[in-house]
Amino acid sequence: QDSAPLALRLARLFNRTKFSDLPPAAIKHAKIILASTLASAAPGTLIGSSRIIRDLAKENGGKPEATVWFDGVKLPLTETARVNAMLSDAAASDDSDLRNVAHTGTCLTAVGLAIGEVTSSNTGASGQDVLTAMVTGYEAAGRIGEAMNNMRAGLHASIIVAFGGVVAAAKLLKLTDEQMANAI
pLDDT tops 90 at residue 170: yes
Separation between Cα atoms, residue 52 and residue 31, nearest integer Å: 29
pLDDT at 93: 72
Give the model's confidence band at 127: pLDDT under 50 very low, under 70 low, under 90 confident, else very high: very high
**Percent of the chain at pLDDT exceeding 90:** 65
Confidence of residue 160 (pLDDT cuts 50, 70, 90): confident
User: Tens digits of per-residue pLDDT, 78-122?
Assistant: 999 999 999 998 887 766 665 656 668 889 999 999 999 998 777
pLDDT at 184: 84
